[in-house]
């Protein structure tokens, strides 16, 4: 963990140059290829900064997704040296001399580093809320007129878990970790969601049962969702429902 | 005699542009919107995510303050589920801050912004990590917005109502003949091909980039790209938005957001909105000033530091830091300012007022197109952000 003192240390480092191998593809190209760019970097330069530098100084046709610059929107997911990361919080300094940058896997590529998120969102069971009760500063009073402090869900819908999942890579039918984790969150805090329908949706060979517990999703998640643990949790709920005696359903859920 | 609906080309994929596409589409206008990158990849997505109550402007810029509280109320109604509705506090930590208390209370009253004055003990019970030295606190209806997903609801709704929304299409030039703008020459980053898009009116809604687009038509708009540095820390240090009770300054706000706390911001001016840099002294200033609100800022784990460019109205020789420039917005009909037909620029403003800005700009456009329909965006509840991606 880096705090104020640690992040300030080393910011005076002289500029050095790193080589980026960047995945390129435009619709109609017979095959993708890689272009190499030498990019000057400093202590705080992120992979996103480096890609923006290439756009500005070398190739304005390089396309990428980004929005918030602080790991809250989830748009800038890519693979760097084969690992899923958010560009905006990945410091170039910590990477090697030559850095390979590719779009996420298991989601169709639209152009260059841009994936088409339509398919990602199709995986979800239904409209999922993204507000939850806040658990931070649990001892705090809530102001009069406010039922409970709320906050956004941890999941930023970035697709890193879907890219990292070895099972999604083998079958399109599997709904994948992001959607299952969202379903588990809705069962945990329904906020009006139809829980019976969610359980039906998850209780499917291509739902919660398809996961092989590789935990790659949890490894890749930049936002503390821990999808793998949530899938295991979800299986527990499904098993509980199957084992329950009639009339005991409420208790087991 | 039936005619095809008027066609408006909007350049830019930020929040205001999404709201404008939505507004015009509801009025029956055919809309095509192009953005060179992802939707909200410019200024919109990068801001701290504050849904302003208006209190920040209630003393120095009451026009902006009134706009904020009106839009704050409307957005909560048309974007249900999109805000962390935990309110905000202004806290005084020095004697000098205390001198701002009365003007703030009066300014908020003048602008219709509800306030509740709290004792230091009451404030600390709501927010235990506040600077224990605080001298006074005022509760106001700030909230946190998701700076991408809230605006995305406007794009989603516009798209479902028939607007064509095209990210990854970049405008290379404007088509101008005999003082009339009739479209744009574009490059499609998905196919790598060039093309033209023709329209009855072209709207330049590119925020800090609007000077660059206007120059393609040979006209000038007085915009200063004015960046600020923001700092994101892991963990929520507060649940309410915490503001410094004094006049607008560096590092005067902590916005909790998801599992993060965002400290903002500073202000300077640049010439090129694509090349902002990240001044290290500004990052350190966020730590120093943020810690005066919540001391734990200095011990929190670093997550990100970045710059975002505001599109402030003002000329090059007018401002050094950007703080002197107006936070309100302006629509330029270039027929009036430059004798150029078919070209409108909208700029200035802020995330909170995106819908109101769009309404006023749409009024200007509909006036030019002789479209009679009234604005319907105040009452239209928006589709969820996920609908943007649904075919």
Tens of pLDDT along chain A (253 residues) come to: 677 766 665 555 567 999 999 999 999 999 999 999 999 999 999 999 999 999 999 999 999 999 999 999 999 999 999 999 999 999 999 899 999 999 999 999 999 999 999 999 999 987 787 899 999 998 899 999 999 999 999 999 999 999 999 999 999 899 999 999 999 999 999 988 889 999 999 999 999 999 999 999 999 999 999 999 999 999 999 998 777 655 544 544 4
Residue B74 in any domain: the answer is no
B122 lies in the same domain as B232 = yes
B133 lies in the same domain as B152 = no
Q: In what order do the strands lie in the sheet with A83-86?
A: A33-41, A16-24, A98-102, A77-80, A83-86
Give the 3-state secondary structure of residue A21: strand
CA distance B62 to chain A (A): 26
Main-chain dihedrals φ then ψ at residue B360, nearest 5 degrees: -65, -40
Model-level pTM greater than 0.90? Answer: yes
Nearest to A68 among B127, B148, B240 (CB): B148
The segments of chain B whose pLDDT lies below 70 read 1-3, 315-327, 391
B292 lies in the same domain as B153 = no
Q: What is the distance, to the nearest Å, from the Cα of residue B205 to the centroid of all Cα atoms in its chain?
A: 12
B216 lies in the same domain as B162 = yes
Q: Which residue in this structure is represented by tokens 């239209």?
A: B380
Main-chain dihedrals φ then ψ at residue B106, nearest 5 degrees: -70, -45
Query: What is the dihedral angle through the alpha carbons of B44, B46, B50, B51, rounded to the nearest 10 degrees?
Result: 20
Whether A140 sits inside 8 A of B128 (CB atoms) is yes
Q: Considering only the C-alpha atoms of chain B, give the largest distance between any 2 of them, rounded to a whole number of Å.
A: 73
What's the complex ipTM?
A: 0.94
Whether B230 sits inside 8 A of A70 (CB atoms) is yes
Whether B86 sits inside 8 A of A65 (CB atoms) is no
Q: For residues B113 and B109, give the distance between their C-alpha atoms in angstroms, rounded to a whole number.
A: 6
Contacts of A124 in chain B (CB under 8 A): 386
Whether B40 sits inside 8 A of A67 (CB atoms) is yes
Q: Which residues of chain A are in CATH 1.10.1060.10 domains?
A: 119-252
User: What CATH number matches the domain at A4-116, 3.40.50.300, 1.10.3720.10, 3.10.20.30, 3.40.50.1460?
Assistant: 3.10.20.30
Domain boundary among B278, B313, B348: B313
Whether A64 sits inside 8 A of B280 (CB atoms) is no
Q: Which residues of chain A are in CATH 3.10.20.30 domains?
A: 4-116
In B178-313, which ranges are E strands? 180-188, 193-198, 201-204, 223-234, 241-244, 253-257, 260-264, 302-313
Domain boundary among B313, B346, B365: B313
SS3 of A97-132: CEEEEECCCCCCEEECCEECCHHHHHCCCCCCCCEE
Q: For residues A33 and A81, give the distance between their C-alpha atoms in angstroms, rounded to a whole number.
A: 16
Give the 3-state secondary structure of residue B242: strand
Residue B68 in any domain: the answer is no
B263 lies in the same domain as B166 = no
Contacts of B192 in chain A (CB under 8 A): 26-29, 61
At how many degrees (to 10) do helices A177-188 and A195-202 cross? 150
Q: For residues B25 and B21, give the distance between their C-alpha atoms in angstroms, rounded to a whole number.
A: 6
Nearest to A140 among B187, B239, B283 (CB): B239
Q: For residues A39 and B148, give the distance between their C-alpha atoms in angstroms, rounded to a whole number.
A: 28
Domains in chain B, number? 2
Residue B55 in any domain: the answer is no
CATH number at residue B4: 3.50.50.60
Q: For residues B293 and B369, give the distance between their C-alpha atoms in angstroms, rounded to a whole number.
A: 50
B162 lies in the same domain as B304 = no
The residue among A145, A150, A22, A7 whose CA lies nearest residue A81 is A22
Fold of A119-252: Fumarate Reductase Iron-sulfur Protein; Chain B, domain 2 (1.10.1060)
Residue B24 in any domain: the answer is yes
Residue B7 in any domain: the answer is yes
Domain boundary among B313, B341, B374: B313
Residue range(s) defining the domain that contains residue B384: 1-49+146-222+326-391
């Amino acid at each position: 963990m880096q705090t104020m003192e640690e992040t300030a240390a080393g910011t005076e480092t002289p500029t050095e140059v790193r080589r980026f191998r960047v995945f390129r593809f435009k619709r109609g190209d017979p095959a993708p290829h890689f272009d190499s760019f030498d990019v000057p970097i400093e202590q705080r330069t992120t992979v996103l900064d480096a890609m923006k530098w290439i756009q500005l100084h070398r190739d304005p046709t390089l396309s990428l997704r980004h929005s918030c610059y602080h790991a809250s929107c989830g748009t800038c997911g890519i693979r760097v040296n084969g690992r899923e990361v958010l560009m905006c919080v990945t410091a170039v300094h910590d990477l090697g001399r030559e850095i390979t940058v590719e779009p996420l896997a298991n989601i169709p590529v639209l152009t260059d580093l841009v994936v088409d998120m339509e398919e990602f969102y199709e995986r979800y069971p239904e409209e999922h809320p993204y507000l939850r009760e806040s658990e931070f500063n649990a001892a705090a009073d809530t102001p009069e007129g406010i039922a409970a402090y709320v906050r956004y869900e941890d999941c930023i819908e970035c697709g890193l878990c879907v890219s990292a999942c070895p099972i999604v890579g083998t079958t399109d039918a599997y709904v994948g970790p992001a959607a299952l984790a969202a379903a588990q969150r809705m069962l945990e805090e329904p906020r009006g969601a139809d829980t019976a329908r969610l359980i039906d949706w998850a209780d499917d060979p291509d739902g919660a049962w398809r996961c092989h517990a590789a935990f790659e999703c949890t490894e890749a998640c930049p936002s503390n969702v821990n999808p793998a643990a949530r899938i295991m949790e979800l299986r527990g709920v499904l098993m509980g429902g199957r084992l329950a005696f009639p009339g005991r359903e409420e208790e087991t859920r | 005699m039936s005619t095809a609906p008027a066609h408006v080309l909007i350049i830019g994929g930020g929040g205001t542009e999404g709201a404008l596409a939505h507004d015009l589409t509801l009025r029956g206008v055919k809309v095509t919107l192009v953005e060179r990158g992802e939707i909200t990849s410019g200024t919109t997505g990068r801001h701290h995510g504050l849904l302003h109550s208006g209190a920040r402007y209630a003393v120095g810029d009451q026009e902006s303050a009134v706009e904020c509280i009106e839009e704050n109320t409307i957005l909560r109604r048309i974007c249900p589920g999109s805000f962390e509705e935990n309110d905000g506090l202004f806290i005084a930590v020095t004697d000098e801050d205390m001198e701002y208390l009365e003007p703030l209370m009066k300014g908020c009253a003048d602008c219709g912004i509800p306030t509740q004055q709290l004792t230091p003990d009451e404030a600390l019970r709501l927010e235990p990590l506040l600077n224990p030295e605080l001298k006074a606190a005022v509760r106001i209806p700030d909230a946190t917005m998701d700076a991408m997903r809230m605006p995305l609801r406007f794009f989603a709704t516009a798209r479902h109502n028939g607007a064509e929304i095209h990210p990854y299409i970049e405008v290379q030039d404007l088509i101008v003949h005999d003082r009339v703008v009739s479209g744009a020459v574009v490059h499609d980053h998905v196919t790598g091909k060039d093309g033209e898009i023709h329209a009855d009116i072209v709207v330049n809604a590119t925020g800090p980039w609007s000077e660059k687009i206007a120059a393609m038509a040979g006209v000038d708009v007085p915009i200063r790209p004015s960046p600020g540095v923001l700092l994101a820390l892991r963990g929520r240090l507060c649940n309410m938005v915490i503001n410094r009770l004094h006049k607008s300054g560096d590092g005067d706000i902590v916005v909790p957001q998801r599992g993060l706390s965002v400290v903002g911001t500073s202000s300077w001016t640049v010439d090129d909105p694509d090349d902002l840099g990240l001044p290290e002294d500004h990052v350190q200033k966020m730590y120093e000033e943020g810690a005066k609100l919540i001391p734990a800022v200095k011990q929190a784990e670093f997550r990100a530091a970045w710059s975002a460019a505001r599109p402030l109205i003002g000329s090059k020789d007018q401002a050094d830091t950007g703080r002197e420039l107006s936070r309100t917005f302006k629509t330029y009909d270039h027929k009036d300012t430059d004798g150029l037909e078919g070209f409108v620029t909208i700029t200035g403003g802020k995330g909170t007022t995106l819908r109101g800005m769009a309404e006023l700009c749409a009024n200007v456009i509909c006036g030019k197109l002789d479209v009679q329909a009234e604005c319907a965006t105040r009452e239209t509840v928006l589709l969820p952000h996920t609908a943007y991606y649904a075919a």
